Chain A
């Protein structure tokens, strides 16, 4: 049975400007890669900072590895690796020296650990280079190396792929996948790049205006959303009207680029093609859209209402 690594119960954070978190309930189970999805200012970073003890909640309670209470949480945080916002690096120190500093903080005496984490984030060759000379991608990876130093059971990563180039994004995904697979690390990750999050996460939490709207597993998300047939045709509106009449399907829509979108489950593909041929509707393109995190999220928060 999977154990809860982190639990938030009715967590609220209020500043003078208003609520950042409102009665948030959330659970992260061991071994999950929990994708935390929400717009800027939704409260993702605030919750991560609450986990890190950097922000104190106005109300509610959090549990980390089953521990609650100020002192117990502080001890439990030793089992968490954090990368919140920008990596905290000393620019005048090399990667190895930065890691050595945090080794001291964590009380790690084994010098091999520095090589291990540098290897884990593929920075072995740049260990002697000063952090000020690092690219953004390298800085993010070094930030991840710092988070990994204490062999954490939970990784809290706030926008870790922000500003990375495509290769850097792929690298980061592979590193995280390896950590979860080989070391059984649980990950809480937020990102605005939902397509990337969809490739990684096993569980999602959708937050909007400080409230957790829904928690759903990746498998349930796939099941919940319908596969659509997307057909490009020059006159989509009239084609949609014709298809609705001929096939008796009401659920045909036209999206912004002028594509017909038909739920796959509601139509027989052969019959659909036959209608296209009989009516002489030209087909310029044809594809199937898989269930999409972005669409799910937009539907959840009410389309364009943000």
Chain B
């Protein structure tokens, strides 16, 4: 498994898509920090305040990261390397779990890069421009930002698990990408269009959709002109349980699919 992970890290280091997304996220966080500062100034009520601001922009990560994860899981079938790797003694279970583990590491890396760079640029700009940096809301900002970052990691991991399952079942990069797009935008539809439906079942589906929870903890979920946030223990338990269940179900399905089916390139 360790050797396989090393090989996959080597693949990523040579992969143009991975490098491009890393650059894209760096530019996005840089551009966002500059643009927000120019609009609202760099005065801060706490040094962690920029992080709290940045998490509300994390929604666009859900368009890009799942797409890359989809490429990453299907590349073995596309180029045929899965055939060699399995034939060289790597277990199928190890193959899937290794890919997923690296997918989660990629999520951590990109979130760290996106939020970290945003925070560094914002704080540097505040120092350079001599804007005041207070400490009044530090504790609250740390708690809110950490909760949001943690939930983002969990939800991106859940998205990756779904995409991984689709990739392993479909095995063709182009078709898997289309399915991933359907899943990502389908989630938006579940959240948006079914929000006010009269059907109890559809309403339940919408309430428990991944995107509904993401929008709630990102402070973007609006119902009857009111922003709905996660409040209370039950909300948080639900927000954690939903992605955990999705991860378990999708990874199990992906594992079973790869274990049971023959590999033909």
Assess the B265–A105 pair: CB atoms within 8 A: no
Stretch at the interface among B57-65, B82-90, B101-109: B82-90
Q: Find A90's partner among B2, B81, B82, B90 (CB 8 Å cutoff).
A: B81
How far is B8's CA from A90's CA once the two chains are assembled, in angstroms?
12
Assess the A97–B80 pair: CB atoms within 8 A: no
Residues of A33-88 whose CB lies within 8 A of B: 49, 52-56, 74-78, 80, 82, 84-88
- How many chain B residues have a CB neighbour from A under 8 Å? 27
Assess the A82–B84 pair: CB atoms within 8 A: yes
Q: Find B86's partner among A53, A102, A107 (CB 8 Å cutoff).
A: A53
Q: Write the residues of chain B forming the contact surface with A, with a CB cutoff of 8 angstroms.
A: 2-4, 6-7, 10-11, 14-16, 79-91, 262-265
Q: Find A150's partner among B10, B83, B88 (CB 8 Å cutoff).
A: B88
How far is B14's CA from A101's CA once the two chains are assembled, in angstroms?
10
A49-B263, A56-B262, A78-B89 given; A101·B83 CB < 8 A: no
Assess the A105–B85 pair: CB atoms within 8 A: yes
A92 at the interface (CB under 8 A from B): yes
Assess the A54–B85 pair: CB atoms within 8 A: no
Assess the B262–A54 pair: CB atoms within 8 A: yes
Interface pairs A-B: 4 shortest CB-CB: A88-B80, A52-B87, A104-B7, A107-B3
Quote the shortest CB–CB distance from A99 to chain B (angstroms). 11
How far is B83's CA from A107's CA once the two chains are assembled, in angstroms?
17
Assess the A105–B90 pair: CB atoms within 8 A: yes
18 pairs, A vs B, C-beta closer than 8 Å: A49-B262, A52-B86, A53-B86, A55-B262, A75-B89, A85-B80, A88-B81, A88-B84, A90-B14, A92-B14, A92-B15, A100-B10, A101-B7, A101-B11, A102-B7, A104-B10, A105-B88, A106-B3
Q: Write the residues of chain A forming the contact surface with B, with a CB cutoff of 8 angstroms.
A: 49, 52-56, 74-78, 80, 82, 84-93, 97, 100-102, 104-107, 146, 150
Assess the A74–B91 pair: CB atoms within 8 A: yes
Assess the B87–A93 pair: CB atoms within 8 A: no
Quote the shortest CB–CB distance from B213 to chain A (angstroms). 37
The residue of chain B having its C-beta at the shortest distance from the C-beta of A143 within the complex is: B84
Assess the B7–A105 pair: CB atoms within 8 A: yes
Assess the B6–A104 pair: CB atoms within 8 A: yes
A55-B262, A105-B90 given; A146·B84 CB < 8 A: yes
The interface residues of chain B lying within 8 Å CB-to-CB of A74 are 89-91
Q: Find A101's partner among B10, B16, B262 (CB 8 Å cutoff).
A: B10
How far is B84's CA from A32's CA once the two chains are assembled, in angstroms?
23
How far is B7's CA from A102's CA once the two chains are assembled, in angstroms?
7
The interface residues of chain B lying within 8 Å CB-to-CB of A89 are 79-80
A49-B262, A101-B11, A106-B3 given; A88·B88 CB < 8 A: no
